Amino acid sequence: MRSTGSTASPTTVSTPRSATATADGPVSGFGQPRFLSVATALLTLALVAAQLVLSPAASATTPTGEETAPAYVSPDDLGDGAKAPKPTGTSWLVGDLDSGELHVAKNVEKRHAPASTIKLLTALALVDVLDDKQKKVTAEFEDMEIDGTKVGLMQKNKYTIDLLFHAMLMSSANDAANALGRAAGGQKKAVSLMNQKAAELGMSNTHAANTSGLDAKGQYTSAEDLMKLAWAVCEDDYLMKVIGTETFKFPGGKNPQTKEKFKGYEIQNHTKIVGQVDGGLGLKNGFTRAAKGSYVAVAERDGHRVVATMLGIDNNSRQVAVDLLEWDFAQKEPKSLQTVPVGVQATAEAKPTAPSSGGDAGGDEDETAASAKDSADDDGDGQASSSLASRSLGAAMDNPLALGLLGAGVVLLILTAVLWVRLRGRLQGRR
């Protein structure tokens, strides 16, 4: 509005009354525009402040514990009759791997991003296709540039299938998972094989989109399905030998660009179940920022196998898995909450035909079903959008400050409009 005042000044400079203040009040060509500018600024500030107060993001109340989840602490008592450990997260279970009986269970059918636990499905789906474990695969640049944990594959260097399985399952190497997928016929083919294997095992709440477990649209699994997967992996001698390896020698190689040679190094088992838990057989851990912590842990004592699976765990997922195993082994007569069909039972309940792959993520129908279920779980995006206005109005009614700012904004808006009309009339009259 200052630009309006400066435009009016040259027009009124020759008029003594316009150029000189009187005892009756300020100069009409200067005071009103200045007041108008101030009013406009105040109006803007009031409206912005009201918007901030009324904003759903500002007014919404964050549920207790959602912003910062409490750290998991191991219970003092994990003995017979003690309460089961309680993780903080999306879903988990612990139970008998062979009978499928669950002794602790929460949201076991809920779909959630799997993180690197999906590598168990990658391994199971590709282990028979890549039957020559000494066959060598030439690493490519796409292996090196993949996100997340890597073992350090170097392009144009050759690695055996066996070494790639060790790197993927022990060190959770995404570059190794990518190379195995390419060796099986490409990522699209590998993902299709993974979804076929999931269907064979009756993993109805699982859908793979890549071989590594990196977050991807349409990729999900459930705690229940991970139990079915754990049973199948434990039946494969080769995979269990790899998973049961604590350390492994990774070979050196040569940088194809600099011609510089580099030495080999030792890789460790990241799951930290084998050799660290009594009777620990291992299996797989995982983590991404979106998926949070995931875990599949199996231990065997006196011929009795116990499995713990979990998804979306906020913190200390390994300790949670170990505590669940220890607690379950300690229970003399654990109560069976439900039974998950594993092994032959799961295969009998599986669909007779596997879903076809419609792209790299595989199975468009499955992805649509997942979206529908996820929408149901989250109360639907449509309902959230339709309630936006009502939430804002409710926030205003509950917040006197918001009402005051909004009222002040309306008054300033009316006042500004009146002054603007009067000023325009005077300027036009002088012309």
Residues assigned a catalytic role: 116, 119, 172
Q: Which H/E stretch holds residue 404?
A: helix 400-430
Residue count of the chain, please give it.
431
Rounded to 5°, the CA angle 357-363-368 comes to 160
Report the DSSP pairing between strands 292-301 and 304-313.
Answer: antiparallel
Strand pairing category for 158-160 and 247-250: unpaired
DSSP string, 180-206: HHHHTT-HHHHHHHHHHHHHHTT-TT-
Calpha distance 170→295 (Å, rounded): 14
φ, ψ dihedrals at 176, nearest 5°? -70, -40
Q: How far is CA 295 from CA 130, 229, 283, 298, 309, in A?
A: 26, 12, 8, 10, 5
Q: What backbone torsions phi and psi does residue 6 show, to the nearest 5 degrees?
A: -70, -25
Could you tell me which residues are beta bridge partners of residue 118?
Answer: none
Q: Which two tokens stand for residue 57?
A: 């993001």
Region label for 380, one of left (φ > 0), alpha (ψ between -120 and 50) or beta (otherwise): left
- Tell me the DSSP string of 229-256: HHHHHHT-HHHHHHHT-SEEEEP-EE-T
